[in-house]
Structure 1
Amino acid sequence: MLTVRQGLIALLALCLALTASAAAHASGRGPAPAADRASPRSPVVFVHGYNADPGVWGALRADLRADGYTDAELFSFGYDTHQSVNEVLAGRLGTYVEQVRRETGAATVDLVAHSFGSLVSRWYVKFGGGTDTVDHWVSLAGPNRGTSTAWACALWDQACRDMTPGSYVVKNLGSGDATPGAVKYATFWSDCDEVINPDDSVPLTGATNTPVGCLAHNDLLGDDATSAGVRAFLAS
């Protein structure tokens, strides 16, 4: 049994311990929740285009690293454009985004898409819950209202059919609000893109639409001015 003196000493020790714990928490020395430790900017998820792979993002990834991004903030969604319809691919992208959010502790991600990847990522944003998990959405040379060149492979390839003007995918993405939610939208388009026809299929109402001059379809991926525009938009 504790004496009165021993009890007072124990009580004083407990008070000192509680005070030290509170001070450490207030000063930030204690462990912080995952959300508090996360970077204030959103991690970037790249979505490549038709018949491509994550390797196409080398130049833009390098530019973002030069701006201070780490490899732990840059992710590439890889998928086979010949395997599934747009809605299925968008669902897989949604699963990947959730994986990135768990890994980083981030509440939202930024999506940067090229060409056909614009349709996949837009479907996820509009119909897959992405309005709650995406902060910025960027389309480089995306066939957002379809491209007539897709008819060249539409007979045997579902992704090409999805990209044709008036397709099920294009019509549903364009119905109602083309840029829904609080997501910030941007498009970058060339006036002599040999793949996107017509050229103005890329811009969207409600987005920040930037013409990049006369660039070939894939040249937007490595163009310095386009990269600077994308990075400035992600920082906005």
Structure 2
Amino acid sequence: MIRETEVPKVKNKFHYWTAFMFYTDVSVYRSTLVCSDHVLSVVGVGAASLAKLTFMVGGVEEEYTAAQELLTCMGANVVYCGQVGTGQAAKICNNMLLAIGMIGTAETMNLGIRLGLDPKLLAQILNMSSGRCWSSDSYNPVPGVMEGVPSGNNYQGGFGTTLMAKDLGLAQHTATNTKTPVPLGSLAHQIYRVMCARGYANKDFSSVFQFLREQEEEPEKKGD
């Protein structure tokens, strides 16, 4: 945690929060000095205590500059995105891509395992090839492939499936309002909503691998 003596002194007080709002509704917050969000580069309270969060900040640039030192107490990366609301926009885009990438990684790993490949070997190959992504090399969803990630702890901790479904819902809302086609984002939203209804709500979002494995078992059970 940040000790009081470590918090830098600033001349003015800042109204600051990391909650999400609909990007299209942010005009009511224009009077706020600084508005920011943290991205899922490293997850949770533990990441904040280690100062490893990434903050994407929207607001008046002068106020952002004054608050930057304070934000670095919790974040390894602090990025100014523009006016109020652009921080939320950046996070929406990041988390939609994160969900799509995680589902793709889970599908790929599952297919490789079904084809007889060792999951650790497959992950190694992916991570030295063009298929490499954050979900494959830093947050692999297959149990036993990596240590220190939720997949190695029955998908406990990390970033919850419910939260991912919520963020994807926000992405869908903004995509509809801006008339932006997001077919993969829409499909990812549907998958995570189904997961929430199937008992995965409190598990980490990488549990989509386990969910897919469960789906392949269902036809076999029905056949019995």
TM-score (norm 1): 0.30
Max Rg structure: 1
TM-score (norm 2): 0.31
Q: Which has the higher helix share?
A: 2
